[in-house]
A = this chain, B = another copy of it.
Amino acid sequence: MRFGVDYYPEQWPKSRWDQDIRLMREAGVNTVRLGEFAWSIFEPEEGRFEFGLFDEVIEKLAGAGIAVILGTPTATPPALLVAKDPTVLLVRQDGRRVSFGGRREYCFSHQGYRGHSLRVVRALADHYGHDPRIIGWQIDNELGHEGSDQCFCEICRHEFANWLKRKYGTLDALNEALGAVFWNQTYSAWDQIPLPWPTIGQHNPLLRLEHRRFAASQVTSFLKMQVEVLRQRTSGQFVTHNFIQPGPAIDQPAMARELDIVGFDNYPVWGESSEAPEAWQPALALDFARGFANRPFWIIEQLIGAQGWDVLGYLPRPGQARLWAAQALGHGAEALIFFRWRSAVFGTEEFCHGVLNHDASPGRRYEEFKAIGKLVKEFEQLAVPGSAGTPEAGRVAFGWWPDNLWAWQIQPQSRSFSFQREFDRFYQAFFALGAEIDLLPDDRLWQGRKLVVLPVPMLMRQEQREALRAFVERGGVVVAGFRVGVKDESNRVVESALPGGLEDVFGVKVDDYEALDARQTVNLHLANGDVGAGSVWCDYLLPITAEVLAVYAGGARPGLGAVTINRFGKGLAYYVGTALDEKTFSFIAKEAMLRAGLEPFVLPPGVEVRRLALASRSGLPVYMVMNHKPDEVAVNVPGYGEVVGEPYGVQFVGA
């Protein structure tokens, strides 16, 4: 397995390099990432390239048996390039052009910037593309992060119109899709189409969605442009990119298709975190990245210490960084590269703490890093990295697709709605029942599954409705959140009863719906006699053929259904009409797992158990038990009985 660090030799005197590499080796490092912000080192003047510094350090690393991933440095354009043509800089939605001085300040639509990027990537590929010490390439860095995903400049306005023209062919088709007749927005020329800048009132929902689709496509094409250069000019080297947690308007599945390996930057806490996350939070992020990857999945930046720019987030407790490393392995990471080797003493990220202290001393974090190196070795003995112990049919598939997320971001409909939180709510319910979960884009969602969960699938294309119908008909179990199928691909409200085109599958009609604010809840009477609570949103369900599992005891339409189950074909379809409290969700999720033939396994809060790929000597599976809490906890592991987890501890049961 690859175990390593992100290394910035250019930030330290050469005299220090040998000592750094010695400490790396002692900790078991076999891989480093280099160079992803070093454009001006590689190209000190436009067109003049120098590789000496990196050649030298790569040679030293090779001498120590350490392989290199090289970053293309396009995330940080040289100052000269920006000074010569400030139109490369991104324009924010408010019309302000950003300044040089951060990173990723560039516009993805800018042909000049694309040209500069091609030049430097070609030069790097020509120099390092056949060098066996370089095992692979990382494109740019965290594309779309920190508000760099959407530019609102005039070039983008022009490119957006071209993109719409390619997509719709005629203005009539575009106007028809937009419903441009509303508020007299019919366009008679392509160059009349605005970006969704501030206006009086609010822009058309489809215009806003298409702008996100366009922006995401620009990011993908920028990535693809670089990948193609590398494909042409290198050999035997993989191409990756380091993605971050869900958020920016990028199309991760489309980007992943261009890559050999999907990289992920795994920061369970960052500057804005005051507390440690719940166990399921980093788990979700890892499952997300593994899910859209559909290919080997590496951690390219893994947290080792407290992080932050102008403010610092939560300080990981002793052992906690090791715990999170184990969790990444348990969720399928086939490599663990830590950010970063030594803590920077200058620049924006001087409080992103690395393995070594600012003063270069190997302190508490270095010791923990060494312990993680040992854990990686141990893990390799017990598991096939990247392979899950549980077969696909035994896992729960969660479906998501970018334009549903974007449609919700554009029209949250309830002031207390957050796509992430509603998604979390579903994930957390199944996680607490020990389910192994795959978060999958819709094109790989249904095959070979017993149980598919669709949190708040508002925007559905016709083929998605059909796939859902076919899956249930054939015997699958579906659990779907509220606002099911309200919107079509054009972000228009469907012209059929809700759930749009799926009345028969769910056996209900949504007779009314209501947004709740952050302080409002509605009581529910559950089929098991308990009382639950709904929040955020109420779909008031009129059962047609469905059975009601939870009834509203308040709200605008008491007596109507809040959660229903319907037999359709050979399968079952659950409709969850409101944001359920944890206990109620647990009842529903358990029901659904049992009906799908999956075994729920109730975990104590904060405990996570992953079944590893290899069997133990006794023939039972090997389990990795992780305790995310600061106190000891006892957990019953199937076949092994009670196991006591140390605070922040990682144990291999059956090893």
Name A residues whose Cβ lies closer than 8 Å to a Cβ of B.
Answer: 8, 10-11, 37-41, 45, 73, 76-80, 82-83, 90, 92, 94-96, 98-105, 146-148, 178-179, 181-189, 191-207, 274, 306, 308-313, 315-318, 343-351, 357-361, 363-364, 410-415, 417, 490, 492-497, 511-517, 519-520, 556-557
A78 neighbours in B (Cβ, 8 Å): 184, 186, 188
A310 to B202, CA, bound (A): 9
A183 neighbours in B (Cβ, 8 Å): 37, 76, 102-103, 347-348
Question: Is B201's CB under 8 angstroms from A346's CB?
Answer: no
Question: Is A99's CB under 8 angstroms from B199's CB?
Answer: yes
A120 to B539, CA, bound (A): 44
Nearest 6 interchain pairs by C-beta: A179-B346, A182-B347, A102-B201, A102-B199, A76-B184, A99-B197
Question: How far is the CB of A487 from the nearest CB of chain B, in Å?
Answer: 9
* Known contacts A79-B187, A274-B517; is-contact A99 B310 (Cβ 8 Å): no
17 contacts between A and B (CB under 8 A): A37-B182, A38-B181, A39-B184, A45-B188, A79-B192, A83-B191, A90-B200, A100-B192, A101-B196, A179-B344, A206-B346, A312-B413, A315-B513, A318-B556, A351-B413, A360-B495, A364-B511
Question: Is A83's CB under 8 angstroms from B185's CB?
Answer: no
Question: How far is the CB of A465 from the nearest CB of chain B, in Å?
Answer: 15
- Interchain CB contact (< 8 A) of A311 among B83, B311, B313, B412: B412
Give the interface SS of chain A, mostly helix, strand, loop or mixed: loop
How many identical chains are in the complex?
Answer: 3
- Interchain CB contact (< 8 A) of A310 among B309, B345, B360, B411: B411
Question: Is B205's CB under 8 angstroms from A348's CB?
Answer: yes
Other A-B pairs, 12, CB within 8 Å; known A8-B182, A40-B184, A146-B201: A37-B184, A79-B186, A79-B187, A102-B203, A148-B200, A178-B347, A204-B347, A274-B520, A310-B410, A310-B412, A311-B515, A358-B494
A104 neighbours in B (Cβ, 8 Å): 200-201
A417 neighbours in B (Cβ, 8 Å): 311
**Most chain B CB atoms below 10 A, which of A147, A310, A410:** A310
A199 neighbours in B (Cβ, 8 Å): 98-102, 105
